[in-house]
Amino acid sequence: MNFRNRHFILLEFRRKKIKIKLASDWLSNKNPGSDFRGF
Place 18 in a pLDDT band, splitting at 50, 70 and 90: very high
Q: How many residues does the chain have?
A: 39
Provide the greatest CA pair distance for the chain.
51
Backbone torsion region of residue 36, taken as left when φ is above 0, otherwise alpha when ψ lies between -120 and 50, otherwise beta: beta
> Is pLDDT at 29 greater than 80 in this prediction?
no
Give the mean pLDDT of 22-38.
Answer: 69
Give the C-alpha separation, 4 to 10, whole Å: 10
Give the mean pLDDT of 9-19.
Answer: 92
Residue 15 belongs to what H/E stretch?
Answer: helix 2-29
